[in-house]
Amino acid sequence: GQSLEQPSEVTAVEGAIVQINCTYQTSGFYGLSWYQQHDGGAPTFLSYNGLDGLEETGRFSSFLSRSDSYGYLLLQELQMKDSASYFCAVRANQAGTALIFGKGTTLSVSS
Amino acid sequence: IAGITQAPTSQILAAGRRMTLRCTQDMRHNAMYWYRQDLGLGLRLIHYSNTAGTTGKGEVPDGYSVSRANTDDFPLTLASAVPSQTSVYFCASSDSSGGSNEQFFGPGTRLTVL
């Protein structure tokens, strides 16, 4: 089966940089994704890493090391609106793109 | 319709009743999913469908059934609701044919079983 571990909470101040780590155990690996969810809302896709290395999208970057079964989401120049929950996820199986999610990290950004 | 919709928005249901949560997407995505979200447990996969006419079981399928008669609709049925099925239910879809891993989520259905 699959399991993912990520911190439950992270706090930071506006303008800072924060890193949210994710370690995973999977029977087969088909990429690591990150999703953002504001309180009560629908999750939205942030990034995907299929290969080792860094993927950058504006203020957000995501990193993957397959040999370490580890990835992280890096948020730069934090803004109040970045306060949300962040989930890492892996594909459930090879046959499709259903995801298994971590339990989520709640990021609180203060001024 | 633009994107993915779910109905109802919220529902209070007596235990033992049958309930169908509706999900419709207009993006012609081949794959659709149902997740439940409970406090502290994140999103858990209930059932999925990689293409119309096929379905598969996720992490927590017991007590739920799905069907995928066409591309656009993916209803989730609780045959006999129990209080442990109180949760927020999210439907999602994706176009997996091009290798994209992005899933698009609906606004969710908040279900309370008493």
Two structure tokens written together for B55: 């379905």
- CB proximity under 8 Å: A 28-87 to B: 31, 33, 35, 40-45, 48, 50, 87
Mean residue pLDDT of chain B comes to 94
> Which residue from A minimizes the CA distance to B103?
A45
Distance separating the N- and C-terminal Cα atoms of chain B: 32
pLDDT in tens, A80-106: 999 999 999 998 776 677 899 999 999
Question: Nearest CB to A98: which of B48, B105, B106?
Answer: B48
Q: How many CA atoms lie within 13 A of B61 on its CB side?
A: 11
Chain A interface, best mutation among B4, B10, B43, B91, by max A CB count within 10 A? B43
In this prediction, residues B58-66 reach a mean pLDDT of 96
Does residue A25 contact residue A9 with C-beta atoms inside 8 Å? no
Q: Is the pLDDT of residue B1 over 60?
A: no
Helices (H) and strands (E) in chain A, counts: 0, 11
pLDDT at A26: 87
Task: Please list every residue in chain B whose beta carbon sits closer than 8 Å to the beta carbon of residue A31.
Answer: 101
pLDDT in tens, A30-42: 889 999 999 989 9
In this prediction, residues B95-100 reach a mean pLDDT of 70
pLDDT in tens, B14-59: 999 999 999 999 999 999 999 999 988 889 999 999 999 999 999 9
Question: Which residues, listed in sequence order, are joined to residue A32 by a DSSP beta bridge?
Answer: A49, A90
